[in-house]
Amino acid sequence: MTAIAHTAAVRIDVVDPAAYTPPYDHALCAALARAGADVRLQTSRFAYGDVPEPEGYTRVERFHRLEVGAPGGRVRTATRAAQHPVDMLRYRRAARAAEVVHFQWLAWQHVDRHLLPDRPRVLTAHDVLPREPKPGQVAAQRRLYERMDHVIVHSAHGRGRLIDEVGVPADRVTVIPHGVLDALTRVPAVAPPELADVDPQVPVVLCFGLLRPYKGIDVLLRAWAGIAGAELWIVGMPRMDVAPLRAAAPPGVRWVTRFVSDAEAAACFARASLVVLPYREIDQSGVLYTALGFGAPMVLTDVGGFGEVAEQGAAALVPPDDPGALHAELARLLGDSAARDALAAGARAAAAGPYAWDPIARATLGVYRRVERS
């Protein structure tokens, strides 16, 4: 085993082949560069809009360059899947310039585990195991972990799952928090047309992000029944059939069922009196850390690592799959501006403290310096 060079200018490749999380990738790479690392973000073109300009790092759109079809559609997914093995093989050669390769997402686990570069490898387990998995995907994810020199996870809950459920050795797992995502706070806000006529005096509860079954939208709609004098905004691109949910929604619910621009997302978060994440399962969530960036008070279900954020005073917790408890907490906070202000203050303090990017970058560099080539 040959240890990597312990230099401040360690050469890092941060790799997100499918460009699943451009805001996170950008924030991590910029923070690593501020900490003195030489960073390349190896990714693909983000199909839904612009991405932040690199700050101190280099972005290489190496993957999926020949994709066609509508974003999220079957044709585009098929063209990505066809290109991915070739792109990974090409990247193996490019990775020789890096001292550490830090993967963010590897979505084709059954292929990816055979195509990893011969460099020290770190993987961030944004999802410990795939949710709504395809056949064989969970087993392939477990084998992928075996090929990593180290795994970073965003919560103590996730670390426990990796060790106890997946079997990753404890000395190869490090908890490093997900950092606050505050880039949208600097974007000029433009309200989505679907929401432009809202009375500015009406309180708004925001549920934001891709609409998927595990996010508990059905529970939220049941919890909203009977809440008056406020609006619930459900904003995000569907990854499931939402027609039955829309048909059964109680009064006071507005929907924006498409990918929204950064300007529109900024307007939604800035307008929200509360942000609600009624998830059935999760480790951590980019939506949560975007809400932290806006200093927004939150109501979270007590799943995954959400409780660790609530311990910072940034959110109220309710049990998952409990519309009665969620209704009661939403009604309480909508009627108590002082309680909302206290949660907002907790969110701002958490964003400036444990979820700030510079200490996260230093901790991540510490992991890089510990990994060794096999």
| Residue 354 DSSP SS3 | coil
* Backbone phi, psi, residue 42, to 5°: -100, 115
**Tokens coding 167:** 């079997």
State the pLDDT confidence band at 3, using cuts at 50, 70 and 90. very low
State the pLDDT confidence band at 7, using cuts at 50, 70 and 90. very low
Cα separations (Å) of 4 from 10, 22, 119, 367?
9, 27, 10, 11
Residue 373 has pLDDT above 60, yes or no: no
**Tokens coding 138:** 């969970």
Asked if 347 and 314 touch (Cβ cutoff 8 Å), the reply is: yes
Residue range 19-48: mean pLDDT, rounded: 95
Cα separations (Å) of 36 from 57, 339, 350?
10, 41, 25
Tens of pLDDT, residue by residue over 248-268, are: 999 999 999 999 999 999 999
State the pLDDT confidence band at 132, using cuts at 50, 70 and 90. confident
| Residue 311 DSSP SS3 | coil
**Tokens coding 116:** 């990893």
- State the pLDDT at residue 75: 75
| Residue 243 DSSP SS3 | helix
**Tokens coding 135:** 């056949």
Lowest mean pLDDT among 72-81, 198-207, 280-289, 364-373: 72-81
Q: Walk me through the domains of the chain, giving residue ranges and CATH numbers.
A: 2-179+356-373 (3.40.50.2000), 183-352 (3.40.50.2000)
Q: What is d(CA 16, CA 14) in angstroms, rounded to the nearest whole number?
A: 7
Phi-psi region of 216 (alpha: psi -120 to 50; beta: other; left: phi over 0): left
- State the pLDDT at residue 368: 97
The pTM for the full model equals: 0.91
State the pLDDT confidence band at 74, using cuts at 50, 70 and 90. confident
Residue 90 has pLDDT above 90, yes or no: yes
| Residue 195: closest CA among 118, 248, 267 | 267
Residues found in the chain: 374
Task: Tell me the pairing of strands 11-16 and 38-44.
Answer: parallel
Tens of pLDDT, residue by residue over 133-143, are: 888 999 999 99
- State the pLDDT at residue 5: 43
Cα separations (Å) of 107 from 76, 110, 124, 240, 312?
15, 9, 13, 19, 32
- State the pLDDT at residue 50: 83
Element (H, E) at 138: helix 137-146
Quote the mean pLDDT of the chain.
93
Residue 47 has pLDDT above 90, yes or no: no
Q: What is d(CA 121, CA 150) in angstroms, rounded to the nearest whole number?
A: 7
State the pLDDT confidence band at 55, using cuts at 50, 70 and 90. very high
Tens of pLDDT, residue by residue over 327-360, are: 999 999 999 999 999 999 999 999 999 999 999 9
In degrees, rounded to 5, the angle at the alpha carbon of residue 291 between the alpha carbons of residues 231 and 368 is 155
Cα separations (Å) of 312 from 16, 20, 299, 305, 317?
30, 27, 13, 12, 12
Element (H, E) at 38: strand 38-44
Residue 300 has pLDDT above 80, yes or no: yes
Residues with Cβ within 8 Å of 68's Cβ and at least 6 positions away in sequence, in order, are 75, 76, 79
User: What residues form DSSP beta bridges with 301?
Assistant: 318
- State the pLDDT at residue 372: 57
Tens of pLDDT, residue by residue over 157-166, are: 999 999 999 9
- State the pLDDT at residue 1: 35
Residue 69 has pLDDT above 60, yes or no: yes
- State the pLDDT at residue 158: 96
Residue 105 has pLDDT above 50, yes or no: yes
Residue range 81-89: mean pLDDT, rounded: 89
* Backbone phi, psi, residue 301, to 5°: -80, 150
Q: What is d(CA 281, CA 260) in angstroms, rounded to the nearest whole number?
A: 24
Asked if 302 and 317 touch (Cβ cutoff 8 Å), the reply is: yes
**Tokens coding 182:** 């505050």
